[in-house]
Amino acid sequence: MDDKYLFASVLIKINQNQLALGAAMDELTIWAEKQGASDVAGHIRDALETLDQNQEFISLALLSVSTDFKGE
């Protein structure tokens, strides 16, 4: 497999993992709130905000990489 395609594949898998972790953290936030642990829920939300901010950059990078492959 070409290194560029391998790199793109790894980026896609990392992105999928990040999305899955974010979804799991959302569920934990809901659970923590129901348990009365609003401080824990707040910390989880802070971490989710970081994931969301990074997601935009990752999406743009993936778009750039995929555009490069289409041009070849």
In angstroms, rounded to a whole number, what is the distance separating the alpha carbons of residues 38 and 58?
A: 30
Tens of pLDDT, residue by residue, the chain (72 residues): 677 788 888 888 988 999 999 999 999 999 999 999 999 999 999 999 999 888 888 888 888 877 766 656
The whole-model pTM stands at 0.74
pLDDT of residue 25: 95
pLDDT of residue 58: 87
Closest CA to 49 of 60, 37, 41: 41
pLDDT of residue 46: 95
